Amino acid sequence: MKPSKKIFVNREPNDEDLEVIKELIKTHDIKQYVPDSYVYIQINEGETVEVLRFPDGAVHKTMKEYQLQAKQAVQMIYHQLEIEQSIKELQYWSNINEYKKYIPVIAEAKMKSGMEKVYADFAIYAKDQVEAGITLSDMDFEEYLYLEDVDGEEETDYTK
């Protein structure tokens, strides 16, 4: 397969993006990864560009399992965590499979009126706090004190 058939970009790059991508390809010799991997270039809002490599085996498995084209499979792998969380959120709101909603508490402050909590701006849907903690770890989100179960009083302090 031609190397150009294994390199994908999440959206149509503008002229500035093209310059950054060309520089990344030259600087990091991305073509060396193409014989056994697919390369995905994620152009984010603002100034950042991510370059990710996905092994052929994972992409081919996803293509076969979900009947996708190569670019679709790479994008699915890239967005896997978001997809899983969306499905779990739907199950949570539909009372299917006993999912719970957890919100990371990122800070606490003692006020005259009591303890004031600062929450992350997102929720995690999981069957238990261990699964929620693993999901946060997979997201590389480690700056939290504990998880709060929105529907219950469970709290786990992961800083100890």
- Long-range pairs of 141-145 with CB within 8 A, sequence gap ≥ 24: 141/104, 143/106, 144/104, 144/105, 144/106, 144/120, 145/104, 145/105, 145/106, 145/107, 145/108
How confident is the model over 13-44, as pLDDT tens digits? 888 888 888 888 888 877 788 889 999 999 88
Task: Report pLDDT digits (tens) over 67-77.
Answer: 999 999 999 99
The pTM (predicted TM-score) of the whole model is 0.76
